[in-house]
Amino acid sequence: MSDRPSTPHDTVHPACRVVSLVPSITEGLATVRRQAIVGATDWCTHPADLDVTRVRGTKNPDLAAIRALEPDVVIANKEENRELDVRRLRDSGIRVEVTEIETVPQAIAAYEHLLDDVLGWPRPEWLARARELWTGPLPPITRRVVVPVWRDPWMVVGSRTFTGDLLRRLGWANVFEDHEQRYPHVTVEEIEDAGPDVVLLPDEPYVFTADDGPEAFSVPTELVSGRLITWYGPSLIEAAEL
């Protein structure tokens, strides 16, 4: 991981036209040079007033619209975006930078690489603060949790995920951390048999509410912000207070 100061890479010409296919990264980059972001997905909801060309979703981007924007670089993510779309854009001569993020330190390092070596932009203050907050020793475990991300069928956060790593760095153990799948399908009975102290119900991707989710469980539940436990960007500062 780089310890370079918060200045652009000397040999990188600053990118002037960027398309982001990753909501978390769109929010993060907008804190640095919003005017350089020319395209983003429909799911890039932060900042709320971001005025750019929308290129559909993360799994079905409008490749023709992206090409028409003539970006210097397109930012993608291995989990959120399809390899096929990345390949087609690259075959068109467009530079695509693919991030791979399964832990909080990886997210921070990905931003540092993007800003220093790809975009040639300065690092924002929140990024240095995030490194301070999230890359130290793991705290002791204070409670066991499970995080459903969908229902009918029920799906939960499993192994090798950014969310699972973030929770562990808060001192919370994901009871499905050792599952062979990253987002396994499970039953309510399997969730409760795993012995969580609490079921965390986020508002994305499935919108759990006080009337939709808690009634399914006999164990305690808590409604949480999906952005705080699944997004990597400026939200990491607020997430440290969970």
DSSP letters for 189-231? HHHHHT--SEEEEESSSS--BTTBSGGG-SS-EEEE-HHHHH-
Task: Assign 2 a pLDDT band (cuts: 50, 70, 90).
Answer: very low
Q: Enumerate the CATH 3.40.50.1980 domain ranges in the chain, comma separated.
A: 18-132, 143-239
Whole-number Å distance between alpha carbons of 123 and 115: 6
Report whether pLDDT(7) > 60.
no
Report whether pLDDT(99) > 60.
yes
The 10s digit of each residue's pLDDT in 30-58 is: 999 999 999 999 999 999 999 999 999 99
The 10s digit of each residue's pLDDT in 177-194 is: 999 999 999 999 999 999
Whole-number Å distance between alpha carbons of 80 and 59: 7
Region 208-237 average pLDDT: 98
What are the distances in angstroms from CA 75 to CA 80, 99, 140, 175, 221? 11, 8, 35, 32, 36
Fold exhibited by the domain 18-132: Rossmann fold (3.40.50)
Quote the pLDDT of residue 12: 75
Report whether pLDDT(11) > 90.
no
Whole-number Å distance between alpha carbons of 87 and 205: 26
Report whether pLDDT(196) > 80.
yes
SS3 80: coil
Phi, psi for residue 36 in degrees, rounded to 5: -85, -10
- Do residues 229 and 200 touch, judged by C-beta distance below 8 A? yes
Region 46-74 average pLDDT: 98
Region 137-154 average pLDDT: 97
Task: Assign 209 a pLDDT band (cuts: 50, 70, 90).
Answer: very high
Proportion of the chain above pLDDT 70, given as a percent: 95
* Single pTM value for the model: 0.92
Whole-number Å distance between alpha carbons of 8 and 146: 40
Proportion of the chain above pLDDT 90, given as a percent: 95
Please state, rounded to an integer, the average pLDDT across all residues of the chain.
Answer: 95
Task: Assign 4 a pLDDT band (cuts: 50, 70, 90).
Answer: very low
Whole-number Å distance between alpha carbons of 56 and 62: 6
- Taken in order 160, 240, 238, 3, is the CA torsion positive or negative? negative
Q: Which segments within the chain are labelled E, that is strand?
A: 18-20, 37-40, 53-54, 73-77, 96-99, 143-146, 148-150, 155-156, 172-174, 198-202, 221-224
Report whether pLDDT(108) > 80.
yes
Tell me the sheet residues that pair with 74.
19, 96
Domain 143-239 has what CATH class? alpha beta
Task: Assign 60 a pLDDT band (cuts: 50, 70, 90).
Answer: very high
- Do residues 32 and 115 touch, judged by C-beta distance below 8 A? yes
